[in-house]
Amino acid sequence: MFHGRTDELAVIDRLLSDARSRRSGALVVRGEAGIGKSALLDHAAAAAGDMRVLRGVGIESESELPFAGLHLLLRGVADHVDALPDRQARALRGALGMAPVPGGAPVSGGDRFLTGLAVLTLLADLAEDRPLLCLVDDAHWLDHASAEVLLFAARRLGAEGIVLVFAARDLHAPAFPAPGLTEMRLSGLDGTTAADLLAGHAADLPRHVREQILREARGNPLALLELSAAQREGQLPAYPYNLGTLPTHSRIQQTFTDRIATLPERTRTLLLVAAADDTGDPAVVLGAAARLGADVEDLEPAEHRRLLLFTEDRLVFRHPLIRAAAYRGATLSRRIAVHRALADTLGTHADADRRAWHLAAASTRPDEEVAAALERSAEHARARGGYAAIAAAYERAASLSPDRRGRGRRLAVAARAAVDAGQLDRAVTLADQAVPHALDPTTAAEVARVRATVAGERGQPKVAHEILAEAVLSTAGHDPDTTAAMLFDAVEAAWFAGDLAAVTGVVERARTLGHAPDDRVRALVRVAAGLTGLAADEVGDGLPALRELIGLTAGGPHRAGFRERARVTWWHLMLGEHVAAHDLAVALVRDCRTEGAIGVLPRALALLARAQMPQGRYRDALASGTEGLRIAHDTGQSDHEGYHAVVLAQIAAVEGDQERCADLVKEVLARGTGANPVWAACALSLLDLGLGRHEAALHRLEGVTAGPNRLDTLSSLPDLVEAAARLGLPGRAAESCRRYRGWAEQTGQPWAGAVALRCRALLADDEEEAGAYYARAVRLHRTGERPFDRARTELLYGEWLRRSRRRSDARPPLRSALEIFERLGAAPWAARARTELRASGESLAARDRRTGPLSSLSPQEFQVVRLAAAGLSNRDIGAQLFLSPRTVGHHLYNAYPKLGVATRGELARLDLSAETG
């Protein structure tokens, strides 16, 4: 019976009720040890009699074993894995250490998010027949890989009928961050409720003893019960004053320690073995205990006191604090003996990874054999995608390495794995520890690259450059390939930092040490010099060099890795080649989806959205940006969250949605790394310009175009020119116009040349000259792929013609501009074009071509509908969008009435191309 948890029980019951109606939900229950988290999970399991129930638990000693927690949760449903889509099935089998399907190529768990998608699909499949309840206790002890994939799945629950509940300790335990999930925090029982609970379980105790227990327990239900039991066993003297100075969890644990101390020695040994093992496998526990003189009969005293239970063929501690008390209450020598016994036992159970960790726990001095075993364990973890486990294993192996060279190498590998796991602070710590032991150039280079990677991830390109530049000088002449790669990264970091002197300086110093830069480095130096000069109003050969660099990229983008392909796509965007960039981004996104490479997908979607925007594919860009923002958030890629928020802010600016634009810019500024804040300012300036706030737009743009990220503002220079011209301040835009003209000439793109001509027309003193510029600009735009830019030029040209009293000539460009603005949903710009048309003498009614059925779909519904119309099944769509098949079906169910269709076949007859708008 529960005491004082009415509201909490109602939350649990509501989740179960929603699941029965096919509405999924996830919850994290937090609170101190003994506060009632496990009891709430027990209530949920009992109340879910009509549902399938999976239970798992995080175990402290397995917190470094990849997917150990996931294996415990799914051990009873592993036979369902083969029904998953092929790549998902192979990824999950690899993560769980299951044998591969004969004839199937293994899938590395390197992209842990593919495993997360597999878990989501598996849970959705299990919920097909009846709702599913998943309970994970002690989630704070989950291994990093298991926590990551389970949280990934939890954030994508929709219409499957799944409930996922995590219980995590608040204090004195590792953190269990779960952003995006609903949380419930349990506090202690109030005085009356605590007294009622105690009276029901300890009525036999004297009143003054019960009062002492109430003071000691501080409303903690487990403390109330266990302190009562300890008092009966003589382990809790009744003091006349309140002497409880320990935290509640420590007080309960000490009580368990005292109770364990009264057990027979062989029972204590068996408890210690079970606590150190943590698998609960009776064969392993009893096998190791037998080596220490204990056997199964010695379990009885622990079972009698309900300390250790035998349930579902496993030995289970009644509460995690009992396990902690059994282990931490033993002497070091006894713990070492137990770990050695477990290692010897596991030597016959084909569990090399656990054996390696027990050998490490039993080691008190450097031991290369044990260090090598841990290294082999780490490489097993690599195949299963457990980067945090790799870092832990190599770190421990380093501590057991007899020689400094081996220690440095293992620390460097641990640091790289920590980066791959997203543990940047840990990576820095490990890299710093490796520095004094990095006795060979290869290790020193790897340490430097780790530290530079972390700096780059934190938006510190200057720091990254300095680290790499120093390392290049120290490794030049030892490993040409590594030095070349580091030199390229050093130059790129300096370029991102806007430091041209550093770009050329590191290359010259490397050359003096005998390392001649390769063709790619030389091309990149020219790119940096040319584009930095371009930002400073000097026309160099930066863009031709960038084209050369693309051509020199090893293997070409079609054979390169995902990140290299993303880099090449970005270079095409810098060249103004949006159509080519779009094609590359489409292929990159497609391959990321096919391969399940969700770790790279946010970057690919950001590039795709940036390529879709200038082509007027705003609905597509909105879908790409929205999906990318969600995935970046779920995968902890805050920089990419900023990239997507910027794209979405630009769309909101075009549409004149002030509130949404401002909210997205706030989101960008909250992260404040790289060029994102600059792009955010440019989006706000575009909003100001569209709404006629020319002074605000000019002030904002002058601020960012004069800053260190001037190169990132090139595409906004025409906005600055227009704002200055509107205010009658052409002199303040002359430099910006020259800079943009230089860039446009280097690109050779007709649309860029047209925009440059528009800028010159705005600043021209001579009316005839201005008219000629406008006319040429309009003609050039008709060969391009940038409808918004074309419409802006036509609007300005129409305004100029009307002011020149050529009203009939003004109408055609104004009509064209209005049609494009309306099609794109650019409301403030359409309003300006409509006003100009009326002023030219044309009467017209307001129109809005974005009121069709597609505009009523959410971005995710739009993506689902387009894929369904292309003939993909719900399962295939789910695999592409990282959703469960049932959630895909839910989106289709919502979209059908909005589109006026009733079946999947009717979708194929709709125009869903969304080429524009």
- Residue 556 pLDDT more than 60? no
Q: Are residue 149 and residue 76 in the same domain, yes or no? A: yes
Lowest model confidence (mean pLDDT) among 101-110, 258-267, 801-810: 101-110
Do 881 and 627 meet the contact criterion of CB atoms below 8 Å apart? yes
Does residue 116 share a domain with residue 64?
A: yes
Residue range 6-30, pLDDT digits in tens: 899 999 999 999 999 999 999 999 9
Of the pLDDT bands very low, low, confident and very high (cuts 50, 70, 90), residue 245 is very low
Average the pLDDT over 559-567 and give the result: 77
Q: Which residues of 779-811 are buried (b: 16+ CB within 10 A; e: fewer)?
A: ebbeebbbbbbbbbbbbbbbbbbbeeeebebbb
**One domain for residues 106 and 39:** yes
Among residues 199, 216, 251, which one ends one of the domains?
Answer: 251
Decide if 901 is inside a domain. Answer: yes
**pLDDT above 90: percentage of residues in the chain:** 43
* Domain match, 16 and 124 both: yes
Confidence of residue 634 (pLDDT cuts 50, 70, 90): confident
pLDDT the model gives residue 820? 94
pLDDT in tens, 182-231: 999 998 888 888 888 888 777 778 777 777 778 777 788 887 877 777 77
Kindly state the tokens that stand for 265: 């020695």
Residue 103 DSSP code: T
Q: Which tokens is 28 given?
A: 């994290």
DSSP per-residue letters across 842-901: -------TT-SGGGGS-HHHHHHHHHHHTT--HHHHHHHHT--HHHHHHHHHHHHHHHT-
Dihedral sign (CA 908, 909, 914, 915): positive
Write out the E strands in 143-181: 162-169
> Looking at the predicted structure, is the pLDDT value of residue 540 above 70?
no
Please indicate whether residue 514 or residue 695 has the higher confidence score (pLDDT): 695
Indicate the residue type of 527: V
Q: What element of type H or E holds 55?
A: strand 52-57
Q: Where are the beta strands (DSSP E) in 599-642?
A: none
Q: Is residue 596 pLDDT above 90, yes or no?
A: no
Residue holding tokens 């089998």?
A: 93
- Where residue 480 falls among pLDDT bands split at 50, 70, 90? confident
* pLDDT tens track for 505-539: 888 877 777 777 778 888 888 888 777 655 554 55
Nearest to 108 by CA among 387, 300, 324: 387
Q: Is it the case that residue 242 has pLDDT exceeding 60?
A: no
The pLDDT value given to residue 916: 42
Q: Is residue 296 part of a domain?
A: yes
309 and 243 share one domain: no
How far does the chain reach from its first CA to its final CA, in angstroms?
A: 59
Residue burial 376-406, b: 16+ Cβ < 10 Å; e: rest: ebbebbbbbbbbbbbbbbbbbbbbbbeeeeb
For 328-351, the DSSP string reads HTS-HHHHHHHHHHHHHHHTTTT-
CA distance 504 to 45: 66
Residue 476 placed within a domain: no
pLDDT at 801 over 80: yes
Give me the pLDDT at residue 558, please: 43
* pLDDT of 865 over the 50 cut: yes
* DSSP states of 797-827: HHHHHHHTT-HHHHHHHHHHHHHHHHHHT-H
173-183: pLDDT as tens digits: 889 999 889 99
For 760-897, strand residue ranges (E) read none
Residues 289 and 309 in one domain: yes
Claim to verify: residue 166 and residue 209 sit in the same structural domain: no
Domain-ending residue, one of 336, 357, 378: 357
Q: Say if residue 848's pLDDT is above 80.
A: no
CATH number, domain containing residue 167: 3.40.50.300
Identify whether residues 12 and 96 lie together within a single domain: yes
Distance CA 54, CA 73 (A): 6
In a domain, 413, yes or no: no
Q: Are 80 and 86 in contact (CB under 8 A)?
A: no
Q: Tell me the average pLDDT across 85-104.
A: 72
How far apart, in whole angstroms, are the C-alpha atoms of residue 404 and residue 368?
12
Give the number of domains in the chain.
4
For tokens 């129409």, the residue is 798
What average pLDDT score do residues 372-383 get?
84
Give the phi and the psi of residue 294 in degrees, each rounded to 5: -110, 155
- Domain check: are 153 and 38 in the same one? yes
Residue 110 has pLDDT above 80, yes or no: no
Q: Which residue has the higher pLDDT, 530 or 248?
A: 530
CB 563 within 8 A of CB 640: no
What is the pLDDT confidence band of residue 246, given thresholds at 50, 70 and 90? very low
* Assigned domain for 664 exists: no
Give the type of residue at 576: G
Question: How far from 883 is each of 609, 745, 889, CA to CA, in Å?
Answer: 20, 45, 10
Q: State whether 111 and 171 are in the same domain.
A: yes
DSSP SS3 for 308: strand
Contact 725, 762 (CB under 8 A): yes
Residue 867's pLDDT band (cuts 50, 70, 90): confident
pLDDT of residue 249: 60
pLDDT tens digits for 303-359? 998 889 887 788 988 877 788 788 888 999 999 999 999 999 988 666 888 888 899
The answer to the question of residue 800 being in a domain is no
Residue 648 has pLDDT above 80, yes or no: yes
The pair of structure tokens assigned to 29 is 């229950």
Q: Residues 6 or more apart from 634 whose CB is under 8 A from it?
A: 152, 155, 156, 180
Picking from 624, 675, 666, the residue whose alpha carbon sits closest to that of residue 647 is 624
Least confident of 272-286, 631-645, 712-726: 631-645
Calculate the alpha carbon distances from 652 to 64, 229, 378, 690, 824 in Å.
45, 64, 47, 11, 11
pLDDT tier, 295 (very low <50, low <70, confident <90, very high otherwise): very high
pLDDT by residue (tens digit) across 37-49?
A: 998 999 999 999 9
The token duo for 895 is: 């979209």
Nearest to 644 by CA among 659, 633, 636, 656: 633
Q: Are residues 94 and 122 in the same domain?
A: yes
Residue predicted with more confidence, 534 or 371: 371
SS3 290: helix
Distances (CA, A) of 94 to 12, 106, 111, 583: 34, 7, 12, 33
In 3D space, the residue among 774, 772, 760 whose CA is nearest the CA of residue 722 turns out to be 760
Give the separation between CA 886 and CA 880, rounded to whole angstroms: 14
Give the pLDDT band of residue 753 (cuts 50, 70, 90): very high
The contacts of residue 797 (CB under 8 Å, 6+ apart) are: 761, 774, 775, 777, 778, 810, 813
Cα gap 167→150, rounded to integer Å = 13
| Domain final residue pick, 310, 331, 357 | 357
Q: Looking at the domain assignment, is residue 494 inside a domain? A: no
Residue 2's pLDDT is: 67
List the domain range (segments joined by +) for residue 199.
191-251
How many whole angstroms separate alpha carbon 493 and alpha carbon 601?
23
pLDDT given at position 463: 92
Give the C-alpha separation, 519 to 549, whole Å: 8
Task: Report pLDDT for 826.
Answer: 94
- Evaluate whether residue 455 is within a structural domain: no
Q: What is the number of H-type helices and E-type strands within the chain?
A: 45, 7
Domain of residue 876, CATH code: 1.10.10.10
φ, ψ for residue 55, nearest 5 deg: -125, 140
Instruction: Please indicate, yes or no, whether residues 57 and 132 belong to a single structural domain of this protein.
Output: yes
Least confident of 522-536, 763-777, 892-906: 522-536
**Which structure tokens are listed for 850?**
């974005």
Give the pLDDT score at 111. Answer: 54
Closest CA to 296 of 274, 321, 325: 274
* 251 pLDDT more than 80: no
Q: How many CB atoms lie within 10 A of CB 232?
A: 13
Q: Which residue has the higher pLDDT, 299 or 863?
A: 299
Residue 705 pLDDT > 90: no
CA distances from 640 to 419, 540, 564, 633, 913 (A): 17, 31, 16, 8, 27
> Which has the higher per-residue pLDDT, 672 or 574?
574
The pLDDT of residue 851 is above 60 = no
Task: Say whether pLDDT at 778 is over 60.
Answer: yes
Average pLDDT for residues 595-599, to the nearest whole number?
A: 67
CA angle 655/657/662 to nearest 5° reads 130
Say whether 27 sits in a helix, a strand or coil.
strand
pLDDT in tens, 48-67: 999 999 999 998 877 877 78
Pairing mode of beta strands 308-311, 182-185: unpaired
**Separation CA 497–CA 465 (nearest Å):** 8
